[in-house]
Amino acid sequence: MYQFLLSLATDIIPATADSTQNTSPIRSLVKSLSGMTTEEIIEEIVSAILQLGLKILLALVIYWVGKFIINSLYRFVQKALSRKKIDQSVNTFVLSLVRVVLMLLLIVMIIGVLGINTSSFVALFASAGVAIGMALSGTLQNFAGGVMILLFKPYKVGDFIEAQGVSGTVREIQIFNTLLATSDNKTIIIPNGKLSNEMVTNYTKAGTRRIEWVFGISYGDDFQKAKELLDSYIAEDKRILTDPAPMVALSNLADSSVQVTARAWVAASDYWSVLYDMNERVYREFGKYGLSFPFPQMDVHVTGKLDK
């Protein structure tokens, strides 16, 4: 009621009134009403109510029309992103941002139609934004990191990556965090700010990976036989790519063994299965051909006489 009387007083008091007078709104209203008849007061009240009703009606019309326009723009942007085959994570983020921004603009417009000074609201929003930004600087950094990841795509959902000392398959890219699933089904949550500013190893992005095996055989064993067996094992495995060509070589004469290294390229999705299958086959079949896996050992030679 007090706000209504203030609004009514603003409409009734002439615009030519001296703005420098130190008079309260209530006193000005009483002074204005004292010189009016009952009919004039009722007429002014009815006029103010009609004006307020028209403003509310106009605000409602703008709200429904604005919602229709926002929904239309939302569907338009959604179709545009779908046609360009943008990643689903990017779609969700962009569509949410479009809806929030348009709704804020609509609210500011409705406030202006109702006759409320929008400049004070803009200043309030700006001040609140600065305060929130200072309080949530780390969160905003993660938000910015999420935007960078969605735009530049150092990895995507389904990639196997290593970062921050952990590795796993990317299950979800959120606005603030990235969720990894480890091989033993643990969920690791890493802030996007860390992932966007530090090193990330993506094992899936290239599509293929190189496997390297190092097998140790005893000194005196037939290296050529070991090389032939490894060549045949690699050739028989259809998951191993022929280009680039596989390679088997004697890589090192170690303290306790002769080390034979085999390298081959496979699809990233086949990496672990090929690695484990080859390990199992070598361990199972090398012994059949006289090839043994030596234990680490040390020879101690004692010279001179021992004290009794």
Residue extents of the structural domains in the chain: 32-130, 149-202, 208-289
Quick check: 114 and 107 in contact, CB under 8 A?
Answer: no
pLDDT digit string, tens, across residues 193-215: 888 888 999 988 888 999 999 99
How far from 19 is each of 28, 43, 120, CA to CA, in Å?
Answer: 12, 26, 21
Residue with tokens 């140790």: 216
How far from 304 is each of 33, 181, 235, 307, CA to CA, in Å?
Answer: 127, 61, 55, 10
Q: Which CATH class is domain 32-130?
A: mainly alpha
Q: Which CATH class is domain 208-289?
A: alpha beta
Mean pLDDT along residues 85-99: 68
Confidence of residue 150 (pLDDT cuts 50, 70, 90): confident
Tokens found for residue 190: 């890493």
Tokens found for residue 173: 């890219």
Q: Which of 21-35, 149-163, 237-251 has the highest mean pLDDT?
A: 237-251
Tokens found for residue 227: 């090389």
Mean pLDDT estimate for the chain: 80
Q: Which of 282, 195, 290, 295 is nearest to 237 (CA)?
A: 282
Indicate the fold that domain 149-202 takes in CATH. SH3 type barrels. (2.30.30)
pTM, entire model: 0.53
Quote the percentage of the chain above a pLDDT of 90.
Answer: 33
Tokens found for residue 166: 């952990």
- 3 state DSSP class of 134: helix
**According to the model, what pLDDT value does residue 267 have?**
93
